[in-house]
Amino acid sequence: MKPGRADRVWSVDEHLADILGKIRPLEPIALQLLDAQGCVLTEDVTAPAALPPFDNSSMDGYAVRIADVEGASEEFPAVLAVVGDVAAGSGELPAVGPGEAARIMTGAPLPPGAEAVVPVEWTDGGLGGGPATTMAGSGTAEVRVHRSVDARAHVRARGSDVTAGELVLPAGTLLGPAQIGLLAAIGRGTVSVRPRPRVVVVSTGSELVPPGESLAHGQIHDSNSFMLTACARAAGALAYRVGAVDDDPATLRAALEDQLVRADAVVTSGGVSVGAYDVVKEALSGLPAEEGRVDFRRLAMQPGKPQGFGRIGPDRTPLFALPGNPVSSYVSFELFVRPALRALMGLEPADRTTVRAVCPEGVASSPKGRRQYLRGRHDPATGEVTLVGGSGSHLVKALAGADALIVVPEDATSVAPGAELDAILLD
Amino acid sequence: MKPGRADRVWSVDEHLADILGKIRPLEPIALQLLDAQGCVLTEDVTAPAALPPFDNSSMDGYAVRIADVEGASEEFPAVLAVVGDVAAGSGELPAVGPGEAARIMTGAPLPPGAEAVVPVEWTDGGLGGGPATTMAGSGTAEVRVHRSVDARAHVRARGSDVTAGELVLPAGTLLGPAQIGLLAAIGRGTVSVRPRPRVVVVSTGSELVPPGESLAHGQIHDSNSFMLTACARAAGALAYRVGAVDDDPATLRAALEDQLVRADAVVTSGGVSVGAYDVVKEALSGLPAEEGRVDFRRLAMQPGKPQGFGRIGPDRTPLFALPGNPVSSYVSFELFVRPALRALMGLEPADRTTVRAVCPEGVASSPKGRRQYLRGRHDPATGEVTLVGGSGSHLVKALAGADALIVVPEDATSVAPGAELDAILLD
């Protein structure tokens, strides 16, 4: 390739901006409530009716008229005739007239005529003894009430949580357990949300052997397809691990064509550099226009210099061609794929917390003109971040021991011990 | 029930300690790598072989002997005979003798005789021109090398990531994407982990109707079974929503017996108070010893005063009988069930972050002797927490708008505006 604009080095931010500029959120679908957990609403949800739908008791006790219990005390109780029993879910309600009371359970509708609820602990429970602790005495003819109550005491008013027609959750709300509870409470069985993206993960390399199988000389175990599938799931996607494809462009193209029907995004690893067998680059560079387009670039970062991104197939499915070194592919996923998957879901692309952290040991050397992402451990107690392993992009053990990516800016070639750096906190 | 020790009021901490004292982590099982995501290792994993398993190239370029390129420059290049091609995955390797070089790709094994790798950008790529940018020229007879290299330059040594027999992940490690990548890299296809707990969620109440169906008078929609199922999934469990069971002890007992075969824990909501139709309490109090035991208690908290906990069935499956008001059941899940599910997974029970936060508005009244959990929104920028909705445990809309639980201590009956309180951050 001749040098020039097409071959220029892209910054991390330019590459991410290019990706996000080409990502559209997935089309909304109607999902059952529990399938919508972790998804973003695409409708303004209003309540079709008031919640609670009727005045109801917040206590186990007796539904009474205020005047009947005015001035009541343990010494001089109000004695009321018990005219019925109201459980939660009761349809037919006894009317409570003067001098009368109805036993009522938490959540049960306030019967007509009643103005308040006296908790059972403020009565004899219909047993004719001292203060009751339970509603044990059923079918008793009368109850002694030991305290007066204000109007509407222990009554949850119809509509006191939500009024009919009220907007309860606006479009854009992320649905967690409490939002799902609210949707169920107002009677919604399905909601319109952006679905979780289906992500197909393919690693490439004739040297790759699945874990669990033995290695011939020159072979290694495929780790990227497992790691990137797990990364996609951790980002909220439904991920399918296709596994490793040989370094043959026709085989890779056939695999991608097969997979596109179930993909909202494709992630490949390996085969994007300047080598003679860089299969992803070979298979996807210079596609005919009707098949889409994938651009391969050099980025001003380490690890992760070679990157591909484009949209392929009839639906122009986003494809991320990540470098094959495990640490490079992990860092590339974090920086570029995770934000894109979140954008597909309608979420804010950036979600990781970045903190300024003191790096006591400093960084001995960092490549000039490239933003370096080193693996580190962040201690929130001290605000310090320490390096884990070296800068080698094959160091998987160190990656597994890290909980942060330490960012060394493009213009730094070293970092003095004790200097502050950005640290991106991983989970 | 007569007053006394069995009827005493328990503190939140006592109830949680009682639960955690009776929870044993689930027995480990062997899972495929990707099924083990989010689970805790129960074995010390050591590497069966070195990683990388062989010396390999970190660059696309030429494998050379040091002496042959000593003093080489663009003006006076070292001219080497190209004796072969080494791709990643190559089995048979060409020997590199004096005056010879082998083309080599990233990840390919260093061939015998070679001592270092010269990146292709430091050569003419075998094309006889200026510095190369790719490995395009295959099958060329010679290469001009423009720079000298140190021994082992651009070579990743066998075992430089992990040595054979090395402990790479200790028992107790939580498996995220990077750990799964490391396990795959050392060839592990399955690992021993504690599985995700299977949680059966049952709500109770004859008044409950599934969302999507219309309500007769006195009925409400079942929201707890949806919300608690979502809570269990958010905590990492596999949750099954059974839905609402009528207020009939025999029906509830039958449903629980059916469900126990697939449950590592059971969560019920409703029917635990002092009412006449408190079905969970009625069905599960005073079980015959061979069927287990569930204790029903009053807790010094609001909401969530009535609680049940015990272990039932042949496997003594933990059962959490939560109160039925939606906010009460949500708060109870957070405080008691979530830590217990984490303990079943072998995780540290507590995982929520609690911060001290200024509450500008204060709290007008809080019940004496009970720890109150109010719904709030926490602003990390200001460090302030504001109340959302009131203290009513039926206020689901406010719950859905909250991102924190504000804790008012037992001894406080009000909180002055501007005072600091604990806020438990939800997600």
Chain A environment of B187 (Cβ under 8 Å) = 211-215, 221
* Residue A349 forms part of a structural domain: no
Nearest to B222 by CA among B254, B198, B246: B246
Preceding omega of B52 cis (within 30 degrees of 0): yes
* Residue B147 forms part of a structural domain: yes
* Residue B243 forms part of a structural domain: yes
- How far apart are the CA of B153 and the nearest CA of chain A, in angstroms? 13
Average pLDDT over residues B246-267: 96
- The verdict on A327 touching B (C-beta cutoff 8 Å) is no
Same domain for B329 and B210: yes
Nearest to B203 by CA among B252, B276, B262: B252
3-state secondary structure of B168: strand
Q: Inter-chain contact B178–A220, Cβ cutoff 8 Å?
A: no
Domain range spanning residue B37? 29-50+169-194
pLDDT recorded at residue A140: 74
- The verdict on A58 touching B (C-beta cutoff 8 Å) is yes
Contact residues for A23 (Cβ-Cβ < 8 A; gap 6+): A318, A340, A343, A344
pLDDT recorded at residue B5: 52
* Residue A207 forms part of a structural domain: yes
pLDDT recorded at residue B3: 42
Per residue in B188-205, is it b (16+ CB within 10 Å) or e — as a string?
beebebbbbbbbbbbbbb
Preceding omega of B303 cis (within 30 degrees of 0): yes
- The verdict on B288 touching A (C-beta cutoff 8 Å) is no
Q: ipTM score of the complex?
A: 0.94
Taking each helix axis from N to C terminus, what angle separates B177-185 and A224-234, rounded to the nearest 10 degrees?
170
Nearest to A319 by CA among A374, A371, A271: A271
Same domain for B399 and B325: no
* Residue B329 forms part of a structural domain: yes
Q: Inter-chain contact A397–B51, Cβ cutoff 8 Å?
A: yes
Is the CB of residue A268 less than 8 Å from the CB of residue A329?
A: no
Q: Inter-chain contact B91–A186, Cβ cutoff 8 Å?
A: no
Nearest residue in A to B88, CA atom: A207
Same domain for B93 and B38: no
Is the CB of residue B306 less than 8 Å from the CB of residue B336?
A: no
Quote the CA–CA distance of A204 and A189 in Å, as a whole number. 43
Beta-bridged to residue A201, according to DSSP, are A241, A267
Quote the CA–CA distance of B33 and B30 in Å, as a whole number. 9
Structure confidence by residue, pLDDT tens digits, A411-420: 999 999 999 9
* Residue B107 forms part of a structural domain: yes
Q: Work out the angle at residue B319's Cα, subtended by the Cα atoms of residues B282 and B192, and round it to the nearest 5 degrees.
A: 165
pLDDT recorded at residue A1: 39
Considering B295, B311, B344, which residue would you say is the last residue of a domain? B344
Window 331-390 of B: residues touching A by CB (8 A cutoff) are: none
Quote the CA–CA distance of A224 and A212 in Å, as a whole number. 15
Tokens of A131: 């203060």
Size of interface A-B (CB pairs under 8 A): 322
Tokens of A14: 């330019």
Same domain for B367 and B243: no
Average pLDDT over residues A43-67: 96
Structure confidence by residue, pLDDT tens digits, B200-209: 999 999 999 9
Residue A122 DSSP label:
G
- The verdict on A161 touching B (C-beta cutoff 8 Å) is yes
Q: How many CA atoms lie less than 13 Å away from B197 in the CB half-sphere?
A: 34
Nearest to A210 by CA among A227, A225, A200, A199: A225
Quote the CA–CA distance of A195 and A275 in Å, as a whole number. 38
Nearest to B92 by CA among B115, B106, B108, B114: B108
* Residue A278 forms part of a structural domain: yes
Average pLDDT over residues A146-154: 96
Chain B environment of A181 (Cβ under 8 Å) = 223-224, 226-227, 230, 326, 330, 396, 399-400
Structure confidence by residue, pLDDT tens digits, B263-276: 999 999 999 987 77
Same domain for B319 and B200: yes
Same domain for B141 and B107: yes
Is the CB of residue B135 less than 8 Å from the CB of residue B120?
A: yes
Sign of the C-alpha dihedral computed for residues A56, A62, A64 and A67 taken in this order: negative
Rounding to the nearest 10 degrees, give the CA dihedral for residues A336, A340, A341, A347.
130
Same domain for B98 and B231: no
Report CA-CA distances (Å) from B20 to B41, B283, B314, B337, B341: 20, 24, 20, 10, 10
- How far apart are the CA of B226 and the nearest CA of chain A, in angstroms? 6
Q: Inter-chain contact B396–A51, Cβ cutoff 8 Å?
A: yes
Average pLDDT over residues B140-169: 95
Chain A environment of B152 (Cβ under 8 Å) = none
Average pLDDT over residues A118-122: 94
Q: Inter-chain contact B105–A231, Cβ cutoff 8 Å?
A: no
Preceding omega of A131 cis (within 30 degrees of 0): no
- The verdict on A103 touching B (C-beta cutoff 8 Å) is yes
Quote the CA–CA distance of A240 and A234 in Å, as a whole number. 13
For residue B1, pLDDT over 60 is answered with no
Same domain for B152 and B173: no
pLDDT-derived band at A6 (thresholds 50, 70, 90) equals: low
Instruction: Say which residue, B344 or B5, is predicted with more confidence.
Output: B344
Quote the CA–CA distance of A12 and A1 in Å, as a whole number. 22
Per residue in B387-404, is it b (16+ CB within 10 Å) or e — as a string?
bbbebebbbbbbbbbbbb
Phi, psi for B14 (deg, rounded to 5): -65, -45
Quote the CA–CA distance of A129 and B109 in Å, as a whole number. 91
Percentage of the residues of chain A whose pLDDT score is greater than 70? 98
Quote the CA–CA distance of A386 and A418 in Å, as a whole number. 10
Residue B335 DSSP label:
I
Beta-bridged to residue B406, according to DSSP, are B374, B423
Q: Inter-chain contact A218–B108, Cβ cutoff 8 Å?
A: yes
Same domain for A179 and A120: no
Which residue has 């069930």 as its token pair? B337
Percentage of the residues of chain B whose pLDDT score is greater than 90? 89
Quote the CA–CA distance of B197 and B220 in Å, as a whole number. 30
Tokens of B220: 């409400």
Quote the CA–CA distance of B372 and B366 in Å, as a whole number. 7
Structure confidence by residue, pLDDT tens digits, B211-231: 999 999 999 999 999 999 999
Chain B environment of A274 (Cβ under 8 Å) = 60, 120, 133-135
Q: Inter-chain contact A188–B212, Cβ cutoff 8 Å?
A: yes
Same domain for A101 and A22: no
- The verdict on B9 touching A (C-beta cutoff 8 Å) is no
- How far apart are the CA of A114 and the nearest CA of chain B, in angstroms? 16
Quote the CA–CA distance of B325 and B301 in Å, as a whole number. 14
Same domain for A77 and A22: no
Which CATH number belongs to the domain containing residue A358 in this structure?
A: 2.40.340.10
Window 110-129 of A: residues touching B by CB (8 A cutoff) are: 120
Chain B environment of A133 (Cβ under 8 Å) = 1, 7, 274
For residue B4, pLDDT over 50 is answered with no
Q: Which residue of B7, B180, B394 is in closest CB contact with A227?
A: B180
pLDDT recorded at residue B285: 94
- How far apart are the CA of A249 and the nearest CA of chain B, in angstroms? 15
Average pLDDT over residues A341-366: 97
Which CATH number belongs to the domain containing residue A104 in this structure?
A: 2.170.190.11
pLDDT-derived band at B139 (thresholds 50, 70, 90) equals: low
For residue A314, pLDDT over 80 is answered with yes
Considering B292, B310, B344, which residue would you say is the last residue of a domain? B344
Instruction: Tell how many helices (H) and how many strands (E) occur in chain B.
Output: 9, 27
What is the bridge-based pairing of β-strands A167-169 and A220-221? unpaired
For A33, other C-beta atoms within 10 Å of its C-beta total 26
Q: Which residue of B107, B168, B177 is in closest CB contact with A397?
A: B168
Same domain for A169 and A140: no
Which CATH number belongs to the domain containing residue B274 in this structure?
A: 3.40.980.10
Average pLDDT over residues A19-24: 97
Chain A environment of B217 (Cβ under 8 Å) = 54, 91, 109
pLDDT recorded at residue A2: 42
Window 164-183 of A: residues touching B by CB (8 A cutoff) are: 168-169, 176-183
pLDDT recorded at residue A139: 67
Chain B environment of A241 (Cβ under 8 Å) = 34
Nearest residue in A to B206, CA atom: A89
Q: Inter-chain contact A324–B53, Cβ cutoff 8 Å?
A: no
Burial (CB < 10 A; 0-12, 13-18, 19+), residue A73, is exposed
Structure confidence by residue, pLDDT tens digits, B318-376: 999 999 999 999 999 999 999 999 999 999 999 999 999 999 999 999 999 999 999 99
Burial (CB < 10 A; 0-12, 13-18, 19+), residue B381, is exposed
For B23, other C-beta atoms within 10 Å of its C-beta total 18
Which CATH number belongs to the domain containing residue A187 in this structure?
A: 3.90.105.10
Q: How many CA atoms lie less than 13 Å away from A262 in the CB half-sphere?
A: 11
Residue B260 DSSP label:
G
- How far apart are the CA of A66 and the nearest CA of chain B, in angstroms? 22
Three-class HEC string of A15-62: HHHHHHHCCCCCCCEEEEHHHHCCCEECCCEECCCCECCCCEECCCEE
Structural domain total, chain B: 4
Chain B environment of A155 (Cβ under 8 Å) = none
Q: Inter-chain contact A161–B395, Cβ cutoff 8 Å?
A: yes
Is the CB of residue B96 less than 8 Å from the CB of residue B114?
A: yes
Quote the CA–CA distance of B46 and B173 in Å, as a whole number. 13
Considering B313, B344, B375, which residue would you say is the last residue of a domain? B344
Nearest residue in B to A178, CA atom: B400
For residue A174, pLDDT over 70 is answered with yes
For residue B2, pLDDT over 70 is answered with no
Is the CB of residue A10 less than 8 Å from the CB of residue A299?
A: yes
- The verdict on A204 touching B (C-beta cutoff 8 Å) is no
* Residue A416 forms part of a structural domain: yes
Which residue has 């103005």 as its token pair? A115
Structure confidence by residue, pLDDT tens digits, A396-406: 999 999 999 99
Quote the CA–CA distance of B102 and B118 in Å, as a whole number. 10
Phi, psi for B286 (deg, rounded to 5): 60, 40
- How far apart are the CA of B188 and the nearest CA of chain A, in angstroms? 5
Chain A environment of B186 (Cβ under 8 Å) = 211, 221
